[in-house]
């Protein structure tokens, strides 16, 4: 079975936060994971723009799935997000790239775009357990 099909089957089993936020797996290979989220009124903050936690949640999910598909069991030790512009579109897309797999630390970088514009950049450091 190829990685994308396996990942989609595993992803379909996930409940709670990921499912409730309309996160969808688009593509995955050993170095890259692409996910998207459709924006609903529940994704918005009081200013009627996409909530930063929603953006961060999609990035975190894409990074975590990329690690899982590389058989890395890890927990986030640090994360840094830079929000570059507000999101008012109906969809965001996160692309996670594996930068380092180590015996103690793994690093994933994620870019989140809306309407082909970079809206956030996130760097995750995972403690391998």
Q: How many CB atoms lie within 10 A of CB 128?
A: 15
Token duo for residue 38? 């459709």
Would you kindly state where each structural domain of the chain is located, as residue ranges?
3-128
Identify the CA nearest to 21 among candidates 47, 57, 46: 57
pLDDT of residue 19: 74
Which pLDDT belongs to residue 112? 98
In terms of Cβ atoms closer than 10 Å to its own Cβ (0-12, 13-18, 19+), residue 73 is: exposed
Per-residue confidence (pLDDT) for residue 1, from 0 to 100 = 55
Cβ 58 vs Cβ 113: under 8 Å = no
Q: pLDDT tens for the chain, 129 residues: list them.
A: 577 777 777 767 777 777 778 899 999 999 999 999 999 999 999 999 999 999 999 999 999 999 988 989 988 999 999 999 999 899 999 999 999 999 999 999 999 999 999 999 999 999 999
CATH class of 3-128: alpha beta
**Phi (first) and psi of residue 60, to 5 degrees:** -65, -40
């Amino acid at each position: 079975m190829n990685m994308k099909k396996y990942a989609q089957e595993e992803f379909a089993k996930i409940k709670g936060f990921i499912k409730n936020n309309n996160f969808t797996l688009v593509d995955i290979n050993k170095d890259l994971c692409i996910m998207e989220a459709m924006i609903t009124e529940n994704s918005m903050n009081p200013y009627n723009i996409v909530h930063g936690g929603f953006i961060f949640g999609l990035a975190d999910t894409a990074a975590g799935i990329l690690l899982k598909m590389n058989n890395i069991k890890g927990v986030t030790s640090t994360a840094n997000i830079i929000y570059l512009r507000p999101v008012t579109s109906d969809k965001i897309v996160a692309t996670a790239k594996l930068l380092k797999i180590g015996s103690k630390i793994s690093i994933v970088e994620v870019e989140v775009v809306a309407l082909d514009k970079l809206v956030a950049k996130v760097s995750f450091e995972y403690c391998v357990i």
